Amino acid sequence: MKINEMIKATMARLKKLSEEYDCDYPQADEVFEIDGVGIVVCEVMSSTYMTNSSWMRPHFRITWRLNRKKISKQNLAKILEK
């Protein structure tokens, strides 16, 4: 699975939670089990929600975890390419 696919799946979950609770849901995470790599977690957090500002366009902070340890997007991409 590629990084863009993981981000799209996590953003879809965030949208689903926002619709389910009828509000701008602040964060969502999605867990992916990838053979030969381990468990990858994509966490998406709304930065606009954190700052409580309505004048900013929606933007998000995305963090990655591989087997419970934080990892950068670039290092994760290198591991997934193998």
Model confidence at 40, pLDDT cuts 50, 70, 90, reads very high
Query: Residue 49 carries which side chain, given as an amino acid letter?
Result: Y
Q: What is the pTM of this model?
A: 0.82
Domain range list for the chain: 3-81
Directed axis angle between helix 73-81 and helix 3-21, to 10°? 120
In terms of DSSP bridges, do strands 38-46 and 60-66 run parallel, antiparallel, or are they unpaired? antiparallel
* pLDDT band (50, 70, 90) for residue 52: low
User: Any idea which of 27-31, 51-55, 72-76 has the lowest mean pLDDT?
Assistant: 51-55
